[in-house]
Amino acid sequence: MQKDFAKSMGNAGQKGGVVKSFILFLAGLLLLAGAALGVGGYLAHKEANAPGPSDAATVILLEPGSAVSTIADQLHEAGVLKYPDLFTVIVRLKGNQNEMKAGEYEIPAGASVIEIIDLLIEGKSILHTITLPEGLTTAQMLRIVNAHEILEGDLTLEPAEGELLPETYSFTRGETRDEIVREMMKAQDALIDRLWPDRAMELPISTAEEAIILASVVEKETGVPEERPLIAAVFVNRLKRGMRLQSDPTIIYGLTQGEPLGRGLRQSELRGETPYNTYVINGLPPTPIANPGAAAIAAVLNPAESDYLFFVADGTGGHAFAKTVREHEQNVANWRRIERERRQEGG
């Protein structure tokens, strides 16, 4: 049978047509007899498991609703498939016509027909990421979402300040900006639902919303992760004693809605009567001043056990903590000295 087929192929003409006809012949045998039966079926089975023609990983995007033949042609044009007809026949033989998933795939170098089919059935699309750092305002986070070139669609959602959970989110091509923002909102809700029941006793906050407000202040006050529980303890202790928070970031938010001020605060601004000036108002500001991360929220709900009531920068990126006004004044004087020395060194 092989000799007769080879003879007929010898009269066929061009080499490309011969090879294609041979593959169709083998694929037909495979369809009729199965991979384990007959010489043709064996050869087709062998070809389907042989390394593919590509010598580098190739990214391909399969649109929803694509027919098997369309997928085969697309893979062939991308250079990862030698014989699209063989791909089509094997998919139909295996009953996988409706199991291959749309998406963006990275086809490994040299992937065989069978490996490609398995990859598309498994649906392991390429994952893209977007990272939202802790302490950004909602407006700043939405600008990052809008600027991401892989996300699709216009952003129509308008979440309030503090409603988004800063994190790195994974998504596949085709996801919209509204979908990723909804995921951020749901992630924060889920985090609060998990942490709120295990909060410390006798906190000076009564709602999850207040926890987010205080956590946003903690987030803006320190970039040192291990300090968050101590910063939270200071604010919790001050609230319990009826002391004002006296947090500079709250004043800045009242002035710029959280955008960088670009300079130090003026004395007039420290005394200015705005809803966010915690040097003037009692208790918490009316809304969060940023989107706090999971660690800041956890720190507020379970602050460190401490009697500290004050903190000030210590020149290392962290803070010096104090229990009394006298200790705090000494720490402030030390910080002022560091500031003067830095100015002198700067010329």
CA angle 154, 155, 156 (to 5 degrees): 110
As given in the structure block, the two tokens for residue 110 are: 């040299």
* Residue 162 sits in the same domain as residue 263: no
Domain boundary pick from 91, 121, 151: 121
How confident is the model over 231-248, as a mean pLDDT?
Answer: 97
Q: Which of 137, 162, 193 is the last residue of a domain?
A: 193
**What average pLDDT does this structure show over 223-245?**
96
- Any domain includes 68: yes
Token representation of residue 183: 């995921």
Q: What percent of the chain has a predicted confidence (pLDDT) above 70?
A: 87
Residues 211 and 341 placed together within one structural domain of the fold: yes
Both 61 and 42 in one domain: the answer is yes
Q: Domain limits at 160? A: 127-193
The verdict on residue 198 lying in a domain is no
Q: Are residues 250 and 147 in the same domain?
A: no
336 shares a domain with 212: yes
Per the structure, how many domains does the chain have? 3
Domain identity same for 337 and 238: yes
269 in any annotated domain: yes
Report how far residue 128's alpha carbon sits from residue 133's, in angstroms, rounded to the nearest whole number.
17
pTM: 0.81
Res. 47 pLDDT band, cuts 50 70 90: confident
The pair of structure tokens assigned to 57 is 């990983």
Residue 25, pLDDT above cutoff 90: no
Task: Answer yes or no: do 113 and 226 share one domain.
Answer: no
Answer whether residue 297 shows pLDDT above 90.
yes
The sign one gets for the Cα dihedral 31, 37, 40, 41 is positive
Q: SS3 for 22?
A: helix
Considering the domain architecture, whether residues 207 and 340 belong to the same structural domain is answered as yes
Same-domain pairing of 56 and 164: no
Do 22 and 53 reside in the same domain of the chain? yes
Q: For the chain, what is the mean pLDDT?
A: 88
